[in-house]
């Protein structure tokens, strides 16, 4: 777990700092709100497309080369943003970063399932989630301040940190060669149709959609807070509170899931996501200015749901399929995470351009609440 945590911290540091900075860099170059939303949308589109190919790449090339290549693709393009802030340049480099990020995300969560047994999987996911969340906690709110107060080049230099995670990735690869199951069983499927790949994908659809809805909401808040909040200090404070709550909840809810089961915590968190987004919308709807107190409270609530549901849906995804399909569970879960974040960036940007941020956030909250039927606990049909 130690090299996994080190690699994850380095990789997500480079990802997090540009999640808010890259759209602002495009705005500096003349992009509209919708254009700025496309920056993270393109990043995550290429992330999702790559995630579908990672299991096969790991089988063909091995953990070490794939992880090292992914970290290079994630870290190097950020430094190249100094070449220009035209939207085409930013989008092109975001696409390359998306390929690297797709490798990091699928391999990271798959490694957790390969390294840790089922009785403590929630706790292990929590530790992995903390390694993901801490860079987001520190660098999401700090990124715009670093870029605008210290220098854009400093933010771009920080975005190259994934390269520093390559030694840890190679140590992790050594450990996984003997312990990780084949991440892509290929055509050697068992005759039992119950345990087929298609049946596994059907069972994984529910946790993926639950995750997609909450990451759509959270991704929208993360992307557009620096643009919709006039005060940089309030924007940074709100993002910090959201990141802190998300980090702590994603870390600690795993142990609770191991003791009491993940399902019982999912049902209340879905409507709470909608309530948090409605509160964000109300906070930014006043034409006289931001309602600061309610905005900060909303960021805490959204962060709680955002972090907790990330952990719980991954636990449910691994529990929904047999161990031989944990590779698919990792890929499908990550597709849900990043597809939701991309949709939150693009769709909310388009809606906000046509109407207002308040309307856009209400729509995002409504989509989260629409998944409430999926949050009802289902009897597990999995034969381990």
CATH number of the domain encompassing residue 159: 1.20.1250.20
pLDDT score, position 354: 85
DSSP assignment letter at 182: P
Backbone angles phi, psi at 30, to 5 degrees: 105, 5
pLDDT score, position 352: 85
Angle between helical axes of 357-369 and 197-228 (0-180°, round to 10): 160
DSSP 3-68: HHHHHHHHHHHHHHHHHHHHHHHHHHTT--HHHHHHHHHHHHHHHHHHHTTHHHHHHHH-HHHHHH
Assigned domain for 109 exists: yes
pTM of the model: 0.78
Assigned domain for 383 exists: no
Instruction: For residue range 135-169, list pLDDT tens digits in order.
Output: 888 887 788 889 888 889 999 999 999 999 999 99
> What distance in Å separates the CA atoms of residue 317 and residue 297, rounded to the nearest whole number?
30
pLDDT means per 10 residues in the chain (384 residues)?
93 91 88 82 87 84 91 93 88 94 90 78 85 84 86 92 94 79 44 67 90 92 82 84 88 83 87 93 80 90 93 89 80 88 82 86 92 75 42
Residues 6+ apart with CB under 8 A from 90: 22, 25, 26, 29, 31, 39, 81
Assigned domain for 210 exists: yes
Assigned domain for 302 exists: yes
Domain count, the chain: 1
Phi-psi region of 261 (alpha: psi -120 to 50; beta: other; left: phi over 0): left
pLDDT score, position 215: 92
Assigned domain for 384 exists: no
- Residue 309's domain comprises 2-185+192-375
Assigned domain for 382 exists: no
Assigned domain for 350 exists: yes
């Amino acid at each position: 777990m130690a090299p996994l945590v080190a690699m994850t911290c380095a990789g997500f540091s480079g990802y997090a700092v540009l999640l808010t900075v890259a759209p602002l860099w495009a705005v500096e170059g003349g992009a509209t709100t919708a254009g700025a939303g496309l920056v993270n949308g393109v990043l995550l589109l290429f992330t999702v497309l790559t995630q579908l190919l990672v299991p096969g790449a790991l089988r063909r090339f091995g953990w070490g080369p794939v992880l090292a290549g992914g970290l290079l693709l994630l870290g190097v393009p950020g430094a190249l943003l100094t070449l220009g802030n035209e939207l085409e340049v930013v989008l092109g480099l975001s696409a390359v970063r998306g390929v690297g990020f797709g490798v990091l995300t699928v391999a990271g969560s798959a490694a957790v399932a390969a390294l840790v047994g089922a009785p403590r999987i929630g706790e292990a996911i929590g530790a992995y989630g903390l390694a993901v969340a801490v860079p987001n906690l520190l660098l999401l709110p700090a990124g715009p301040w670093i870029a605008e107060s210290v220098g854009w080049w400093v933010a771009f230099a920080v975005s190259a940190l994934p390269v520093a995670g390559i030694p840890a990735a190679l140590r992790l690869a050594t450990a996984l060669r003997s312990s990780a199951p084949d991440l892509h069983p290929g055509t050697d499927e068992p005759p039992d149709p119950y345990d087929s790949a298609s049946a596994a994908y059907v069972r994984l659809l529910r946790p993926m959609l639950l995750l997609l809805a909450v990451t759509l909401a959270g991704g929208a808040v993360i992307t557009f807070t620096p643009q919709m909040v006039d005060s940089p200090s309030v924007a940074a404070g709100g993002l910090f509170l959201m990141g802190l709550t998300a980090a702590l909840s994603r870390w600690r809810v795993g142990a609770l899931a191991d003791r009491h089961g993940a399902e019982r915590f999912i049902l209340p968190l879905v409507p709470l996501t909608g309530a948090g987004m409605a509160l964000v919308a109300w906070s930014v709807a006043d034409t006289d200015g931001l309602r600061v107190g309610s905005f900060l409270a909303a960021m805490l609530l959204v962060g709680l749901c955002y972090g907790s549901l990330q952990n719980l849906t991954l636990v449910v995804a691994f529990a929904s399929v047999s161990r031989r399909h944990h590779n698919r569970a990792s890929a499908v879960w990550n597709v849900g995470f990043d597809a939701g974040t991309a949709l939150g960036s693009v769709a909310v940007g388009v809606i906000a351009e046509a109407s207002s941020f308040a309307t856009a956030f209400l729509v995002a909250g409504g989509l989260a609440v629409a998944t409430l039927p999926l949050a009802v606990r289902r009897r597990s049909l999995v034969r381990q």
